[in-house]
Structure 1
Amino acid sequence: DLSETDEVEGYRYLTRLLRLALEMNIEHSNASHPSFYSLSHETAKIGADNPDNIYLNSNIDGSFSYEVYGNIGEVDYLSFGLKENRYSIDGTMVSMGEIDLSLMAVKEDGSFRLSLGPEPTSQNYLHLPPEANMLIVRQTYSRRMHQKHSVVHIKNLGKSEPTSLLTAEDLTRHLINSLAFVRGTAGTFLAWVKEFKENHKNALPLGDQSFFQAAGGDPKIYYLHGYYDFKDSEYLEITTAIPECEFWNFQLENYWMESLDYRHNPIHLNSKTAKLDTDINSVKIVVSHQKLNIQNNIITEGRSNGAMLLRWVDARDCPIPDIQIKSITELEVQDA
């Protein structure tokens, strides 16, 4: 049974998915004239979106060639992934090729060029297979509000088809595809959260990484998904070793796997914002429903249940956290 919060947020989630789907299928549908949009941001979210990320998506055609160019800014991690977006068909988004900043040549001023196509046209290159229909750019920032963001553009290197007026047939197709995207996306992540609720409750196991990659995950990231459910008088204490890695973060989500409102509440921590036990290279995170007077405390905003996720980015190994449920009487509650 869903709580009232889960139910009303579910309806909101569907409106958000529809908003994203219309943006993707109507406003940015022309792969001959590619442009970037975002399938996850502050007010519309999909599948455990990362609060430390700025996501960019572009609809592409595997028979074309493209150039992606810009400046990396002060990004901590930057990756480019070619995908076959099948969310509207079977809820999957399989990787067709990936490259990240560690494998790219970047000029001293931060500028870069990346070619996508059958043959390389620049030093940085991703082979573009015929099935690929989406490019995903992940920009990760440890302190997103205080760092200079990357600037990324895309252009078609071939002869672009002339733009044409919207027809009734076009609009009908776009609307049908948008509704199918909503259905496929919601179905995929609802199945996930049911699995986490049954088998990952108050735990962060490794899980089947190929399963997560099939929905569009970055192959360089270990995804440790879980489901929290604890009383108002309790909190979760999550303790884990920190592997040698490029970046890590931990976040809280609602039942629909939307990250919580990171604009206004402390709902996630990362490798720069968390306070570590440097003697043993570990971190202890406290998850509570309301703010507590303790370091590394993040909150569920008052909801009793939802999903959660730990990411290890380009990690040498994959530590599994220890999670304990403790009584809130052991801590001092902050004044509201």
Structure 2
Amino acid sequence: MNGRTIATAALGQFKKARVAYLKLRGQTPDTVAEQRVVSGTSWDEFCDTLKSAGAAIVFPGTPTDPLTQAEGYRYLSRLTRAGLEAFVEYADPRAPVLRRMIHETAKMGSDNPDNHYMNATIDGTLDYRITGTRGTVDYLGFGTQEGNYGEGGQMPTTGYVEAADLEIGPDGRFELILSATEHEGNWLSMTAATGLLIVRQTFADRSTEVPADLHIELLAGSAAPEPLTPAQLDAGLGKASLLVAGASMLFAKWARDFQKHTNELPMFDPERSTKAGGDPNIIYYHSYWRLGLKEALVIDSEIPDCDGWNFQLDNHWLESLDYRYHTIHVNKHTATYRPDGSVRIIVTHRDPGLPNWIDTTGHDCGAMSFRWIRATTHPQPRTRVVPISELAQLD
């Protein structure tokens, strides 16, 4: 067994021993949770863990300028909001709700500006059905995962299926069964450890494409959530705070490591990406960028046969820059192509008047990502930093 498996087994044994000990003392996990909530211990530990998450803001390699630090603390607040919604508000797998955990004001892990992410809390020992309409969004994928970033930084995929592989009616309607045992027709696999559904809707043109309209239900019959219990609150606060601490530290380490190849775009290890919850059908090129006021990052790449691609800029915390108001990414639809079908992307602090310009939005450094979706080949994007004054003379 690997270290993570051993640790998980040990944790399971510890929990069983703790339950047995409590029973000997005439207590149960529920009564202990009641005591923790009434005494304020649950809240105190939640706050203490949030405070400890501030270690990510001063992690080695982190810029200390006011903008990066301000965004860092905002990032922790955003993670807190996302964690509370995931583990307190929408934590009942018997009453699942598809909702947006990651969006324009809650971001993590180099979130894709072209994506409309949706999540639902599920239980791998239960069966679910998704119904809805396909819409016209360019790419639609469904994945099941176990774990979360507060539990060792791993979110391995337990099943994945794309709309292109589903049977969809002529009116665009379809249904998809989620279960641990194989099911006829449209089926998304799970394991007993599955706890999360993620839906990725990737737009090529947000102005014209219609997103899928989706609903999830428990096959045995979804119901309204039961009244909140102290045990649910105690567990939810703990998981939410661990998500903040775990995710912030995980991506702080990624940002530090990416700086080893600043202004380059090496391929990210696909196995590492999938274990961290990435789409298994995407090849990522994660890195770091840093530019002076008079410098430009030039990225040239051939475009393979693929379902989609894009390039984006992030801040140091691996949050996509504000794509609502600025051009911080380019994709297969928005790009201007060169005569040979390749693309040249220009990153500068001010618009140089050239195609495929990416705005740094007042940042002088951060993370960046290039991705191919279901590509037949994976060409290596080529990068170079040049003076802005020389852009017009480049071949």
Superposition TM-score tier, normalisation by shorter sequence? over 0.9
Match of 2:374, as an amino acid? Answer: D
For residue 231 of structure 2, give the secondary structure of its aligned residue in structure 1.
helix
Give, in whole Å, the separation in 1 of the partners of 2:222 and 2:105.
33
Counterpart of 1:286?
346
Aligned match of 1:125: 187
Q: Tell me by how many angstroms 1:276 deviates.
A: 0.6
What is the CA distance between 1:227 and its match in structure 2? 0.5
Query: C-alpha separation between the residues in 2 aligned to 1:222 and 1:118?
Result: 27
Q: How does 1:1-336 map to 2 (within 5 A)?
A: 1-121=63-183, 123-160=185-222, 163-198=225-260, 200-277=261-338, 279-330=339-390
State how far apart, in whole Å, the 1-side matches of 2:168 and 2:158 are.
23
Please tell me whether Structure 1 or Structure 2 has the larger radius of gyration of its CA atoms: 2
Secondary structure of 1:196 counterpart: helix
Paired residue secondary structure (2:194):
coil
- Measured in 1, the distance between the counterparts of 2:121 and 2:227 equals 19
More divergent stretch after superposition (310-319 vs 321-330): 321-330
Deviation at 1:2, TM superposition (A): 2.3
The alpha-carbon distance between structure 1 residues 129 and 73, as it changes in their structure 2 partners (threshold 3 A), is same
Does the residue aligned with 1:276 lie in a helix, a strand or coil?
A: coil
**Residues of 2 paired with 1:207 and 1:161: CA distance?**
42
Measure the CA separation in 1 of the matches of 2:362 and 2:121: 38
How many residues of Structure 1 are paired with residues of Structure 2 in the alignment? 330
Greater Cα offset, 141-150 or 319-328: 141-150
What is the Cα deviation at residue 171 of structure 1?
A: 1.7
Partner amino acid for 2:382?
D
Deviations 1:51-104 (A, max 9, x none): 100000000001100001111111111100010033121111100011001211
1:157-179 Cα shifts (integer Å, max 9, x gaps): 01557732213332222111100
**Separation of aligned partners in 2, 1:122 and 1:152:** 20
Q: Secondary structure at the match of 1:93?
A: coil
Tell me the CA shift for residue 206 of structure 1.
Answer: 0.9
In structure 1, what is the Cα distance between the partners aligned to 2:391 and 2:358? 14
* Contact 1:230-1:305 at 8 Å conserved across structures: yes
Once residues 197 and 147 of structure 2 are traced to their aligned partners in structure 1, the CA distance between those partners, rounded to angstroms, is 9
The letter of the residue matching 1:110 is G
Contact 2:138 2:209 in 1 (8 A): no
| Higher alpha-carbon deviation: 111-120 or 258-267 | 111-120
% same residue: 39
Secondary structure of 1:185's match? helix
- Is this contact kept in 2: 1:115–1:121, CA < 8 A? yes
2:296 is matched by which residue type in structure 1? Y
Q: Deviations over 1:209-248 (max 9, x none)?
A: 1111111001100000111011111011100000110100
Inter-partner Cα distance in structure 2 for 1:228 and 1:284: 16
Amino acid in structure 1 at the alignment position of 2:251:
F
Q: Does the CA-based 8 Å contact 1:28-1:36 persist in structure 2?
A: no
- Quote the RMSD (CA, aligned, Å): 1.5
Aligned partner of residue 133 in structure 1, secondary structure: strand
Q: Distance in 1 between matches of 2:224 and 2:79?
A: 30
2:329 counterpart letter in structure 1: H
Mapped to 1, the partners of 2:387 and 2:349 lie a distance apart of 12
Q: 2:379 is aligned with what amino acid?
A: P
Which letter maps to 1:233? K
In 2: Cα distance, 1:4 partner to 1:248 partner: 33
**Secondary structure at the residue paired with 2:87?**
helix
Between the aligned partners of 1:292 and 1:283, the Cα distance in structure 2 is 16
Contact 1:205–1:225, Cα closer than 8 Å, also in 2: yes
User: Any idea what the Cα deviations from partners look like across 1:179-223, whole Å, max 9, x if unmatched?
Assistant: 00111111111111111012x210111131111111100110000
| Residue identity matched to 1:26 | V
> For 1:159 and 1:74, how far apart are their aligned partners in 2?
29
Bigger proportion of residues as strand? 1
Of 82-91 and 40-49, the range deviating more from structure 2: 82-91
Amino acid at match of 2:200: R
Counterpart of 2:370 in structure 1: which amino acid? Answer: L
For 1:98 and 1:326, how far apart are their aligned partners in 2?
A: 41
Q: Which moves more between the two structures, 247-256 or 125-134? A: 125-134
